[in-house]
Structure 1
């Protein structure tokens, strides 16, 4: 009898992608410049090396076409090659991209940002979110004279020691640095209160996302954190890297009505162009400026922070959000996609082992084994079947460029994938269905031997 696995769509050819990936491994540690982009995050020998994109579609070095999700690690909300962004950048860069003095574009971009985020009084641009978030921590330490940082148990805040020292990838970070960061659980008010009860007089700041794709703040939680910070003189920092321009262009702080002292931004600010920002209260931000009676903070001083291409891209993104409703478009698409995926999973008898869940603008998928436990092996099988059917992504995070045709292609792919998934559940294992090793968590202490 022919199995579902044998009946499925023709396997795609990744010969050139695999050749390029092997070359990257010889030249670049990890074979990619971001751990989340690593080949170990995809089924073995099925990690496409991309050559171009348009809208919500991408093409790889072998000519394979995919509907892409989580575009640019969630940094692209308007789609690849958005005309308004590209036109603005093209017009700007012909006059130069980097100068020895500030430009009028810097002033215009700062005005745009502060209009967009009225809870902030000053802003400073940078190139990546890690730098902006670390600058917030440094400001908080300087302002309070304290060293300890309260770090929420969200997946990622910064590549710098104060955060990475709290993860499994802490090699090379001195223990005394790691000891200055203390974890607390999001949405657990008792645990958060315990953090302040134990460390409140030593905390410089607490750093958290106001919400995540899968978790809304419990009623009163953010307000309670704000109150605890105020009572203990602790700086409250909201990481808006993902929530900014997906929850609202004004940030999650505007959605939930809680104002942080500092907030950090990036990702969708430039629709894929490299730009980030630190924003917040004037009395804190001025510590990194010229006009201060206190000791100055070396805040953010970057050669490429104010380069004109990314500032032009940011202003074009602001205009696109003002002229249209990208968040509304993502909400409609994500809602339809979640409903379709969950209906197909139910029809195939694999719900809730396969499910789409979370905020529609930041949609995730979950994969569980036959016992209902989250499973990397079953996740890899699902990814394998989606990729074979022309869908690429570690999530279902949409952009405003996804179309009705993209939805059809995706749901057709899911329909085929859940049939194979059902066979694996019936077997109790992915053995004989999964080609190669399972994917691995990006932040892990050791690496298994790499196979190409």
Structure 2
């Protein structure tokens, strides 16, 4: 279909309705219509497996499902059935249910590097709990975050470091260290000697850790008396069933999981060493830590869904399947880009189970304008892909179709590079970064 013919009138009307009722028009900024070409932000009607349908009736092959949370595909029958059975027995009670112990045992069997776990609903719940616990056990206030990584929490200790810091007091207690640079991290810890409560980072993203890097962080944390926290929201299950810590063999003091853990159901987890986790319990004589206390944290259907997800991963080798699908997709995209002379401009990066793409201009610099062009062409071809993060529901036909659409997009990309201006192919204003000071 020609881009001029592709229109989403019902989605546009639905977006207007969303903005009138919900600040930002979505419940997470990464889903905002400013992340898509102007007038081409589809509003979803439903999904099944690796496909979604918008309210205009268009079907898409979908990537990055649920911001990486739906790794088994939408409405996965095993997960839905587990949640349904739990809901029929009641969802929330005045005391813990037996399911909570079962879910904890299942999680700790999957992530054996942890000794205790506490469940919540969102990633921010558990990363902030990790920071609070680290501050309590060390008696220190500073938090060191990996400055090269985009997101850790909606709470003040992180959002205060971004351009969207309105409404947050400037405490200056969050400092940053660069990924992969042990000397710079050691210099930071020396500069703030005795002040840093924890180092928190994603153990891997689009960059694999260099040999010895994570072990080096472990040694630095031990030597400087701070807590090492792995944010495994993305790496959890996608890198291995036990996350990056299971793959790379480096054990953090605390780790946080979410996203793929529930396959779309709201569940997250704080896991870690018993000595630390018990500070938030009832059996430690020291000052109590208000670790996590959430009305819906142990909601039965979400815990049942998480148990089904973990069982499916282990029994069906899902992590290996995600890697295999991602490898086929990455190879196809790279071949299509090279064939149209844009191999240095449409660049696929990351682990095969967690692929992202960069759109570079004629000077090799990241370009929101070229990203807009690329996303627009993908949408027209029936591919909804803010990233190329795969789900296990994708089949060979889906990957082949995606590569065909990418090839068509790369042909247009080449025209724009030759013209020195992508504007005629963007259809309006460029897509925007999430973190910016004004709308």
Distance 2:321 2:357 in 1: 20
Distance 1:230 1:169 in 2: 33
Is residue 157 of structure 2 the alignment partner of residue 162 of structure 1?
yes
Deviation, structure 1 residue 202: 0.5
Distance 1:49 1:100 in 2: 38
After superposition, where does 1:342-361 map in structure 2 within 5 Å?
Answer: 342-361=334-353
Question: Is contact 1:11-1:388 (8 Å) kept?
Answer: no
Please, which of 211, 228, 249 is the counterpart of residue 220 of structure 2?
228
- The equivalent of 2:409 in structure 1 is 417
SS across alignment from 2:164 = coil
SS across alignment from 1:76 = coil
Distance 2:278 2:401 in 1: 51
Please, which of 328, 345, 352 is the counterpart of residue 320 of structure 2?
328
Question: Is contact 2:241-2:314 (8 Å) kept?
Answer: no
- The equivalent of 1:106 in structure 2 is 100
After superposition, where does 1:189-228 map in structure 2 within 5 Å?
Answer: 189-212=182-205, 214-228=206-220
After superposition, where does 1:355-394 map in structure 2 within 5 Å?
Answer: 355-394=347-386
Aligned length: 438
Deviation, structure 1 residue 10: 6.6
Is residue 24 of structure 2 the alignment partner of residue 30 of structure 1?
yes
SS across alignment from 2:118 = strand
**What do you get for the CA RMSD once the two structures are aligned?**
1.0
- The equivalent of 2:437 in structure 1 is 445
Distance 2:170 2:334 in 1: 45
Deviation, structure 1 residue 431: 2.1
Deviation, structure 1 residue 15: 0.5
- The equivalent of 2:274 in structure 1 is 282
* Distance change >3 Å, CA 8–CA 350, structure 1 → 2: farther
Question: Is contact 1:116-1:250 (8 Å) kept?
Answer: yes
Question: Is contact 2:178-2:185 (8 Å) kept?
Answer: yes
Question: Structure 1 length as normaliser, TM-score?
Answer: 0.96
Once the two structures are superposed, residues 149-186 of structure 1 have per-residue CA deviations (whole angstroms, 9 ceiling, x without a partner) of: 0011211000000001111111111112xx00001101
Distance 1:130 1:241 in 2: 10
Is residue 44 of structure 2 the alignment partner of residue 61 of structure 1?
no
Is residue 10 of structure 2 the alignment partner of residue 16 of structure 1?
yes
Distance 1:321 1:432 in 2: 45
Is residue 424 of structure 2 the alignment partner of residue 432 of structure 1?
yes
Deviation, structure 1 residue 88: 0.7
Deviation, structure 1 residue 12: 2.6
- The equivalent of 2:131 in structure 1 is 137
Higher mean C-alpha displacement, 365-374 vs 128-137: 365-374
Please, which of 66, 76, 79 is the counterpart of residue 73 of structure 2?
79
Is residue 64 of structure 2 the alignment partner of residue 95 of structure 1?
no
Deviation, structure 1 residue 228: 0.9
In structure 1, stretches of 5+ residues that fail to align are 1-6, 448-452
Distance 1:210 1:11 in 2: 44
SS across alignment from 2:270 = strand
Distance 2:432 2:187 in 1: 33
Once the two structures are superposed, residues 349-408 of structure 1 have per-residue CA deviations (whole angstroms, 9 ceiling, x without a partner) of: 111101222111001111111111110000110000000000002100001100111112
Distance 1:144 1:332 in 2: 43
* Distance change >3 Å, CA 94–CA 8, structure 1 → 2: same
Deviation, structure 1 residue 322: 2.1
SS across alignment from 2:370 = helix
SS across alignment from 1:273 = coil
Question: Is contact 2:68-2:234 (8 Å) kept?
Answer: yes
Is residue 235 of structure 2 the alignment partner of residue 243 of structure 1?
yes
Question: Is contact 1:150-1:207 (8 Å) kept?
Answer: yes
Question: Is contact 1:31-1:39 (8 Å) kept?
Answer: yes
Once the two structures are superposed, residues 5-64 of structure 1 have per-residue CA deviations (whole angstroms, 9 ceiling, x without a partner) of: xx9467333101100100111111111010000000000110000010011000000001
Distance 1:291 1:358 in 2: 43
Distance 1:10 1:391 in 2: 17
SS across alignment from 2:425 = coil
Distance 2:140 2:134 in 1: 8
Question: Is contact 1:357-1:366 (8 Å) kept?
Answer: yes
- The equivalent of 2:33 in structure 1 is 39
Shift >3 Å, 4+ stretches? 7-11
In structure 2, stretches of 5+ residues that fail to align are none
Distance 1:415 1:311 in 2: 41
SS across alignment from 1:159 = coil
SS across alignment from 1:264 = strand
Distance 2:5 2:91 in 1: 44
Is residue 150 of structure 2 the alignment partner of residue 182 of structure 1?
no
SS across alignment from 1:343 = helix
